[in-house]
Structures are given as C-alpha cells and as structure tokens.
C-alpha cells in the first residue's frame, strides 16, 4: 500500500489560499472521487477554542473553498462544522471570534454546530475501547469529508493532527466522557484510533489539508502552547501517512506517539515512510528548514505521569457534593457528568 503527499513552502505563493490550492493540485491525480459528484461536502477544521492560535487558520479554509469553486462545485453543497473542546462554546462562537464566520458568509457556506445538530449513534466495529460514538447528522450524511487539521502539541496525546482532529466529530460534552475510557496515554491512543477507524470505514472520500504554516508546541498544547513558524502545507488522502510525515519533518519518532503507533499496528493507513510518495518540496528540504517539534510525553514521562497520577488521585480525588440550598432538582448535573458519578432519584 502506498500514497501520495504534497509538501509546499507557503512563501513560494502570493497568499495562503493560493498555497492551499497549489498543494491540493499536486496530489489531485490520486483522488478516487470527483468533487462535482459530491452532494454533501463537509469541511472539518480544528475549532478548539476562541483563541485563534489553537484553531485551523481561516485562510486555509478559504483556500479549500477557492479550490472547490475552481472545480465548479456549488457552495450550496458545502458546509463547515466542528464541536469545540472549549466548554460552553459552539463552532459558531469560535468561527465568529477567529474570522471564519465572515468567510463562510462571503461564500454562502453553511456553518454547522455539531453539538446542536441531530445526533446519530454509530457502533464501531473492532473497537478496543470506544465501542460507539454519537456524531452529528451532517457528519453521518456527508459523502466527501475535507479534514483541515493544525499541527499542535497535546498534553495527553503528545500531538494532535490529521487523525486526532476527528475527535471533533463527537458531539459536545461526550468527548469528556469518552476521555475517561483511556486512563493512560496508550489507552487514550486506542480510544482516539477507535474513533478514527469509524472514519476510515465510513468515509472513503477524504482530503486532508494540513496546516503546518505556524504550529503550536510545548507542554501547554493544544490550547496554550508556544507558536513556531514552519511555513509548510501538507496535502493528501491518508491521515496516518500525513501524521507520519509531519512527525518526520519535526524529528519526532512515531513510536513516541501512542495513537500513531496504534494506527500503524491496526493498519489504518500508510505508516511506513518508504511507501509515501512525496511531491513538491522534498522531505529532506522540509526537515532542513524546520526546527525540532517540541512535544510533551516521552515514554518515561508518561510512565511517571501515570504513577504520580494514581498517587495524586488517592490524595486529592474529588467527588460531587450536593449543596441542598442551591439544588433546583432539575437533574441536569446527572445528565452532563462525564464520569456518570451522579444519580438522580426522583422522590
């Protein structure tokens, strides 16, 4: 099995949107689908929080829109959506804050809040930990999925990129509940790849445009890390291969990223760099111009975190405490508690 990936230097183009178009055109001969035959195209950026550095840059999304327009795609068939990780924020809230809403309105594209869309329960065949997910109807019904991740460090997953970005298809607060299925970095990696395996099985028509123009790194990612300019864009149709290439550029070994390692073991894409055809800038050129990707979590630090975490839990664990005077007996606390630690008993 092999795949093709483009690497381009943003500075060789007049603008980021034009660079995105250029990156896609380099690999469009490898597409197994036609955008013109797609009736429901969904763009899935990373809209984590209202902090723009934590999100896919709106200009990347504008670049994909420009490419689709050049191909004659009707914007009535295109939507943008996500379910932010920031509690109490919707995709619309984040999109307005970072300037994406204006782009959607300019091009007549619908912006979808996944958490308020009709929920669909999906079983995951062969899952190790996450046996079912609840996704938005727009995710279930799209016939072409365009993934727009931004490369960032991640305190739990080591890094977030092409595969991890699909965590956002899960509606609202359920993400916190599903997090509890993986109590170690390795276990959480299995949870992430269970979710990704649903994408692989159910969404064969996929394009990924990877934002490596300015990446987030350090131990405070994915929301508050430090920024570093790489000035690169990757494009392809294989998320695992793209994550492998991104890590190779950043001089990080795949074995040190649990969900990448798990995806390779489960054969959910091309995980061998030797089987990835690089077009545009060479891999060596990209590595030469790029500093080492500063990510948290070596095997040893994850082990220490695991051991100290168990000790800390025994010392400082917290349980829900009812404040009777303030309780309205609405039962909402039981409904939204991700750990299901609250039971509402009527009467």
State pLDDT tens for residues 283-304.
999 999 999 999 986 544 444 4
In a domain, 338, yes or no: no
pLDDT tens readout for residues 221-265: 999 999 999 999 999 999 999 999 999 999 999 999 999 999 999
In a domain, 285, yes or no: yes
Look at residue 346 and tell me whether its pLDDT is greater than 60: no
Q: What is the pLDDT of residue 319?
A: 56
Provide the pairing of β-strand 119-123 with 132-136. Answer: antiparallel
In a domain, 333, yes or no: no
In a domain, 251, yes or no: yes
- Residue 15's alpha-carbon distances to 9, 25, 213, 231, in angstroms, are 11, 16, 12, 12
pLDDT band at 309 (very low <50, low <70, confident <90, very high): very low
Q: Based on the structure, what is the number of domains in the chain?
A: 1
In a domain, 105, yes or no: yes
In a domain, 24, yes or no: yes
pLDDT tens readout for residues 46-97: 999 999 999 999 999 999 999 999 999 999 999 999 999 767 789 999 999 9
- Mean pLDDT along residues 122-135: 97
In a domain, 128, yes or no: yes
What pTM, to 2 d.p., does this model score? 0.87
In a domain, 323, yes or no: no
Q: What is the DSSP string of 100-121?
A: HHHHHHHHT-EEEEGGGSPEEE
CATH number of residue 32's parent domain: 3.40.50
The residues, any chain, with a CB within 8 Å of residue 326's CB and separated by 6 or more, are none
The residues, any chain, with a CB within 8 Å of residue 257's CB and separated by 6 or more, are 157, 158, 159, 189, 243, 247, 295
For 211, the domain range is: 3-305
pLDDT tens readout for residues 6-54: 999 999 999 999 999 999 999 999 999 999 999 999 999 999 999 999 9
Percent residues over pLDDT 70 in the chain:
88
Q: Is 210 helix (H, G, I), strand (E, B) or coil?
A: strand
């Amino acid at each position: 099995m092999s795949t093709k990936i483009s690497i381009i230097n943003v500075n060789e183009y007049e603008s980021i949107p034009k660079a995105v178009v250029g990156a896609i055109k380099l690999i469009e001969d490898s597409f197994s689908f036609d955008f013109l035959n797609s009736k429901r195209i969904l763009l899935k950026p990373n809209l984590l929080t209202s902090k723009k550095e934590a999100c896919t840059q709106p200009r990347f999304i504008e670049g994909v829109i420009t490419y689709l327009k050049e191909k004659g795609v009707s914007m009535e068939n295109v939507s943008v959506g996500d379910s932010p990780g920031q509690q109490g924020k919707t995709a619309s809230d984040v999109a307005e804050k970072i300037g994406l809403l204006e782009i959607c309105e300019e091009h007549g594209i619908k912006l979808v809040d996944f958490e308020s869309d009709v929920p669909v329960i999906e079983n995951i065949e062969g899952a190790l930990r996450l046996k079912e997910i609840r996704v938005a109807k727009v995710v279930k019904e799209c016939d072409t999925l365009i993934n727009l991740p931004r490369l960032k460090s991640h305190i739990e997953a080591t890094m977030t990129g092409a595969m991890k970005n699909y965590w956002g298809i899960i509606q609202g607060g359920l993400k916190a509940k599903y997090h509890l299925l993986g109590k170690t970095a390795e276990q959480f990696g299995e949870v992430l790849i269970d979710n990704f395996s649903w994408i692989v099985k159910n969404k064969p028509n996929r394009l990924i445009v990877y934002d490596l123009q300015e990446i987030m790194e350090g131990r405070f990612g994915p929301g508050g890390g430090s920024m570093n300019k790489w000035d690169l864009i990757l494009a392809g149709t294989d998320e695992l291969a793209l994550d492998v290439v991104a890590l190779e550029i950043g001089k990080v070994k795949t074995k040190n990223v649990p969900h990448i390692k798990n995806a390779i073991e489960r054969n959910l894409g091309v995980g061998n760099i030797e089987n990835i055809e690089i077009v545009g800038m060479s891999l060596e050129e990209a590595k030469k111009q790029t500093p080492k990707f500063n990510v948290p979590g070596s095997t040893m630090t994850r082990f220490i975190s695991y051991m100290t975490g168990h000790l800390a839990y025994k010392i400082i664990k917290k349980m829900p405490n009812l404040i009777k005077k303030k309780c309205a007996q609405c039962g909402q606390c039981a409904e939204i508690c991700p750990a299901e630690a609250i039971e509402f008993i009527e009467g």
